[in-house]
Chain A
């Protein structure tokens, strides 16, 4: 098959494996952008999602905001930021963070809302402080869902960070954008394969985090 041939010749070419334009360097850049965007999105989305989920207030506002954020075209936002702010990391980070906030925010909110109310009431009855209830009762029970929100955000970021190359930054997108202009499909297919592998690694990573972080009791209940 055509695509597989491209892939094979891309990955077997030794010159693709080292130097400024080498695969390790590009993957490393890609991971840096993606991780930064995910951390920022989580830093914004998680606290808001947790607090609104706990109090149950502001759910509609939250749905409204994230629907709005979802409606913004990521690529359009990138070009717009680039036209306004010029070259740099900021015009890339803003669209990626905007892309990642809705899944984190809404999933966290819904995860906290869907926690069984009886242990929460029990904890409150035992005189636990609200902050402690949130962190020690609700978050552990909601963790699998919260992680799934972070996971879908991470996959979207990894896949979308390719467009950073369009505004002259690095990352695996370099291969795709350069390949497009050079009519070098080998590069494009190779870059796409790298992204797909990275996305699979994200899936595996979150699966592993889930195994470690989710309390066995919660896991068993969900499996049942």
Chain B
């Protein structure tokens, strides 16, 4: 373990400091992505024709390599955390918008009609009826988005040390200390797993009516969105 937690002083952060910096750079974009995805998803459900173009646009944004995105943004936002966080936020949309749309579409028609008959207006129905039912689908998307966001922050190391734990990678190459690279990968992966577990707990808290785990009977009907491996199910 010699040297494992010895962070070179030119990073100007302790190990814990790097972790908290990494979490900020990874999670704030996801939060903003969710805030953006909710109204966009609502619009896509409301206006069917809007959904395919939105999917294509987010997919193209998603396809732009993070490094290129960062470098282009340097012109506008400089070497700041914002330069890393803006692309990450846009990337989350390709996962979150379909999750929101699929989740809201999975709300049974009877439920919608009942809510409408009770005189609940459209926006309130979205917020109080449809979104809670869509929580499992949205959470599934959120898990994928968070994992990829945590992993992508590291690339920020290539543009002037904005990669938090990823900065360990560049110093590992600079000083020929492979252990620092191991540290970076292991810590990042551990953070991703930890946050993922927290999201699972959060989903259970938010959907108390759901059984804690998939019973065998629910197996066949489990939606793909629940495993949510697909960032963009254009199908």
Which stretch (B110-118, B119-127, B223-231) binds chain A? B223-231
Report whether B227 and A155 are in contact in the complex, using a CB–CB cutoff of 8 Å.
no
**A213 near B: Cβ within 8 Å?**
no
Contacts of A125 in B (CB 8 A): none
A156 and B222 CA atoms in complex are apart in Å by: 25
Complex formed: what's the CA distance from A185 to B181 in Å?
A: 29
Contacts of A25 in B (CB 8 A): none
For A61, what are the chain B residues with a Cβ–Cβ distance below 8 Å?
Answer: none
Q: Is B85 an interface residue (CB 8 A)?
A: no
B184: min CB distance to chain A, Å: 5
Q: In the complex, are the beta carbons of B219 and A79 less than 8 A apart? A: no
A contact face: mostly helix, strand, loop, or mixed: helix
Given contacts A71-B196, A79-B169, A155-B59, contact A110 B229 (CB under 8 A): yes
In the complex with contacts A107-B229, A203-B59, A195-B158 CB distance below 8 A = no
Tally of chain B residues near chain A (CB < 8 A) = 54
CA distance A165 to B219 in the complex (A): 43
List chain A residues, Cβ under 8 A from B147: 67, 70-71
Flag whether B8 is at the interface (Cβ < 8 A). Answer: no
Option from A82, A156, A188 in Cβ contact (under 8 Å) with B72: A188
Chain A positions within 8 Å of B165 at CB level: 76
A73 interface neighbour in B60, B158, B166, B234, Cβ under 8 Å: B166
Inter-subunit contact A80/B229 (CB<8 Å): no
Candidate in A70, A151, A196 with the most chain B CB atoms within 10 angstroms: A70
Interface string of B163-207 (1 = CB under 8 A from A): 001100110110000100110110011101100100000000000
- Interface 0/1 of A151-192, CB less than 8 Å to B: 110011011101100100000010011011000010011011
Q: Are A152 and B231 in contact (CB under 8 A)?
A: yes
How many inter-chain residue pairs (CB < 8 Å) link A and B?
Answer: 179
**Which residues of B have CB within 8 Å of A71?**
147, 150-151, 188-190, 192-193, 196
Contact string, A75-90, partner B, CB cutoff 8 A, digits 1/0? 1110110111000000
Contact between A148 and B67, CB atoms less than 8 A apart:
no
Asked if B92 CB lies within 8 Å of chain A CBs, one says no
State the majority secondary structure of interface residues on B: helix
User: Knowing A70-B144, A107-B224 touch, does A203 contact B189 (C-beta < 8 A)?
Assistant: no
B180 CB to closest chain A CB (Å) equals 9
Q: Are B192 and A109 in contact (CB under 8 A)?
A: no
Q: Could you tell me if A63 and B227 are in contact, using CB atoms closer than 8 angstroms?
A: yes
Check B229 against A67 for contact (C-beta < 8 Å): no
How far, in Å, is A173 (CB) from chain B's closest CB?
7
User: CB-defined interface of B36-58 with A at 8 Å, one 1/0 digit per residue?
Assistant: 00000000000000000000100
Verify if A52 is at the interface (C-beta below 8 Å from B). Answer: no
Q: Which residues of B lie under 8 Å from residue A23 when comparing CB positions?
A: none
A12 to B40, CA, bound (A): 37
Interface residues on A, range: 35 or more
Q: Which of A73, A148, A162 contacts B154 (CB 8 A)?
A: A73
Question: Which of the 9-residue segments A13-21, A36-44, A111-119, A127-135 touches chain B?
Answer: A111-119
Are the CB atoms of B169 and A76 closer together than 8 Å?
yes
Residues of the B chain whose Cβ atoms lie less than 8 Å from the Cβ of A188? 68, 71-72
- Which of B62, B154, B173, B185: most chain A Cβ within 10 A? B185
Task: Name A207's closest neighbour in chain B (CB-CB).
Answer: B234
Q: What 6 A-B pairs have minimum CB-CB distances, sorted nearest first?
A: A199-B63, A192-B68, A71-B192, A106-B229, A73-B151, A162-B65
**B residues whose Cβ falls under 8 Å from a Cβ of A:** 56, 59-60, 62-65, 67-69, 71-72, 75, 144, 147-148, 150-152, 154-155, 157-159, 165-166, 169-170, 172-173, 178, 181-182, 184-185, 188-190, 192-193, 196, 219-220, 222-224, 227, 229-235
> Can you list 9 A-B contacts (CB < 8 A)?
A73-B184, A76-B188, A79-B181, A114-B224, A163-B155, A192-B68, A192-B69, A196-B64, A199-B59
